[in-house]
Amino acid sequence: MTAAVQPVDAPEFPVHSYRADFPVLARKVRDKPLVYLDNAATAQKPRRVLETLDEYYRGYNSNIHRGVHTLSELATEAYEAARKKIQTFINAASHQEIIFVRGTTEGINLVAQSYGRSRLGAGDEIIVSEMEHHSNIVPWQLLCEQTGALLKVIPINDAGELDMDEYKNLLGDNTRIVAVGHVSNALGTINPVAEITALAHAAGAVTVIDGAQAAPHTRLDVAALDCDFYAFSGHKLFGPTGIGVLYGKQALLDAMPPYHGGGDMIKMVTFEKTLYNDLPCKFEAGTPYIAGVIGLGAAVDYVNEIDMDRIRDYEHELLQYATLAAADVQGLKPIGTAAQKAGILSFVMDGIHPHDLGTILDHEGIAIRTGHHCAMPVMERYGIPATARASFAFYNTREEVDKLVAGLDKANNIFK
């Protein structure tokens, strides 16, 4: 098993040095060292992010954009600096294309209700895939109910890969929106979003990419992808919960009506008429999660210093090691074996319900996720109620994979 993959905990990637940046990784669970393998649900936070949040609240807590006093100016400067960091992080053309939202879910809903509801009508078509998270299904179902549009679904094969031939067949004159995940949260599949986008554009449709599982694990370049909208969440990118980003091409955002109404998204309000603010303020009504934005900026600084390409390569090798190790576990069946995968290992085990498996592993200090992962259509596709999912970040190690395997072997012994 170990001979097939070169060591990944090597000097060129000092994983234990990075682990020291994450205080929670030093704790114990049930008197055993924490093995945190639930990164697809939420990632842990480096000390830099925690200190940045503390510094904001202790040192210059204030509202933004509206004050002329020193604290407000400091908060505004830090908030807008974070926007420019994220613009660079995803290679957007302008900081005006970066909209702060609560997370990927709100970003997709914003596009559905602002872009979609103002443009779609009866007979128009929206394409999603069979592997989508509920957050990239339900908003489009709601839009279909509101407008009379039709929802079409790209099927997946047994490996958990999109059927691209069927996708091409689904595209037509009535296709208006194609919404797909960059990386599947339930399977780990990396989808060919640049190709998906090019085909959608050729059919006259726009693309909405759910990047929640991609942003923490690979270098993002929305210009190269040429996608029209791209959404991701801060808490999976080692930043705070409750903050996320929606990228949209400026021409599209300019033409879209506001999603929420309130302060800061207006230029002038009278009872006769309201004039809306310019981008990005038009979509950021009310007092935003200021600390969250600044904290996300700190998280972006942190991963940039490590380098996203190095993170991707390390996690790829770690996934290879885990996949080979899991193959030796009696009764384990992987769910999702795509040729292109991110650091997610989903599986079922003969005779053991995933929830029981998760409980046994928790007693070993190992945190995984069990359930349908907000991807019920994926479970239906494979004819199973749930999976166990171990998901990796750059601070995970081979030793932690070995502990996971030992925990799975213990579960087998308990249920024999």
User: Which residues are the active-site residues?
Assistant: 374
Helix (H) or strand (E) segment spanning residue 225: helix 222-225
| Half-sphere exposure for 208 (CA within 13 Å, toward CB) | 32
φ, ψ at 100 (rounded to 5°) = -85, 130
DSSP structural state of residue 58: I
Residue 261 CB neighbours (<10 A): 12
CB 306: neighbour CB atoms within 10 A?
A: 16
Structure token digits, residue 237: 């990118």
Q: Quick check: 304 and 354 in contact, CB under 8 A?
A: no
The C-alpha atoms of residue 74 and residue 63 are separated, in whole angstroms, by 10
Peptide bond into 155 cis (omega under 30): no
| DSSP-derived secondary structure for 87-127 | HHHHT-S-GGGEEEESSHHHHHHHIIIIIITTT--TT-EEE
The region, left, alpha or beta by phi > 0 then psi within -120 to 50, assigned to residue 350 is beta
Q: How far apart are CA 377 and CA 61, in angstroms?
A: 44
- Asked whether the beta carbons of 309 and 216 are under 8 A apart, the reply is no
Token duo for residue 324: 């080979």
Q: Which tokens go with 35?
A: 């093995």
**Per-residue burial over 54-92, b = 16 or more CB atoms within 10 Å of its CB, e = otherwise:** ebbeeebebbbbeeeeeebebbbebbbebbebbbebbeb
Say which DSSP state 246 is in.
Answer: E
